[in-house]
Amino acid sequence: MTTIASFAPIVDATTEILILGSIPGIKSLEKVEYYGNKHNQFWKIICTIFNNAVVPDCYKNKVDFLLQNRIGLWDVVRNCERKGSLDIAIKNQEINDFDTFLNEHPKITTLLFNGKTAYQFFYKKYGQIKGITYYVMPSTSPANTMTFEKKLNEWSLILSHL
């Protein structure tokens, strides 16, 4: 079992929507990039919704693209033990401090959970936070066998109205 830690949040003063994963997978940890596994559909989904499928080549441009669209990224789990990349293998997790984080970023009014596990960990610790709207989205992970089109549709239904 390996101890792993999440990345720093990607956020700025204009961020209104925060997308929360559980904790990075092995490929993301190796690349030190959110959603760094080339089979994860996160970037393709986000860029299709906002930019008609043009996914930037470099990570910095992907991050800039998110921030330009008032979107931030973080993970619910600060650190944990996990063998492999699957959420089901997460053990002894410590949850990030969202009380402080959301107080420091008052424009954030919407949380999108990239998968049920992120939501379950968050909700168990924080419940429903007043003034914040939650959406549980289908995971963009390759472990989720839902079709790309169905994932895109569900993410699009929410993001196109925010």
Answer whether 81's CB lies under 8 Å from 3's CB.
yes
Structure tokens at 140: 């963009």
What does the alpha-carbon distance between residue 128 and residue 5 come to, in Å, rounded to a whole number? Answer: 25
Residue with tokens 């289908």: 138
The full length of the chain comes to 162
Positions annotated as catalytic residues are 40
Distances in whole angstroms, Cα of residue 115 to Cα of each of 23, 53, 86: 11, 22, 12
DSSP 10: B
Q: Virtual CA dihedral for 3, 143, 139, 95, nearest 10 degrees? A: -10
**Most distant pair of Cα atoms in the chain: their distance:** 41
CA 18 to chain centre: 7
